[in-house]
Structure 1
Amino acid sequence: MKKIYRHLERFFEKIASVATIILGNSITFTIALLLVVLWFCNRDFANQDINDSFRDIIHGITFLSLFIIQKSFNRFSGSLHLKLNELVVSHSTANNSVINVEMKTEEEISELQKEYTDLAEQIKEVEEKLQ
């Protein structure tokens, strides 16, 4: 059962990665923009209530915002990971297992978190003994 769960997790992580890349792509935004323009062109705003018109405009803007926010997040996340990787590599005593941690599975990240929690507790105990 645990093996099936692990395979499902990896599959879901791959789908999520692909979806993130697709939603943050400028071509996808352009297609979405064309869809919204076509949707607006086919709407009869003259015969609609003003509230319905505002609702349609807000839905279109919200839909396009999804793609803009995802693009911005992808850029920010990528640059942040590059900076952190550079800091880890430049420090001679750093643990290189955290380089490209964003590419690891959720299970591997949890294991690393446990290791660092244990390490922090050990350091705390040593500091308490020294005092």
Structure 2
Amino acid sequence: MDRGFELNARLEADTILLGDWPLSRVLLMRNRLFPWLILVPRRAGAVEIHRLPVADQMQLTHETSAAAKVLEQMFQPDKINTGALGNVVSQLHIHVIARRRDDPAWPGPVWGSGQAVDYAEGEAERLAGQLWAALQRSA
């Protein structure tokens, strides 16, 4: 399935690996300001959702919804933002972000809204463990 798949270097540098679902590599963005997951289909050369085989499109929709549900349960956000932009990193990846009216970027987009704030020592690992446990139950 993931023959030839390589995670984009920028995505790798900006995230913490949580694990692999049937289709996607699941990552946590290194920015404590927003509960922010990134799903990267493990398909070599994948750039656009509509170019994936239909079965992969359906699986990606399922995984994106499962990620949103976990973020909703864990963080009680006002809104879940989901997007696949690809303007900076062309490798297909889906952002799933829990947004709150009191977050520093509300109501605008999180992209380009100030500097990311990294997690305190040990905080990212604890959150990653909690998220992955919840995500494994939901997939």
Q: TM-score, normalised by structure 1?
A: 0.27
Structure with more helix by fraction:
1
Structure with more strand by fraction:
2
Q: TM-score, normalised by structure 2?
A: 0.25
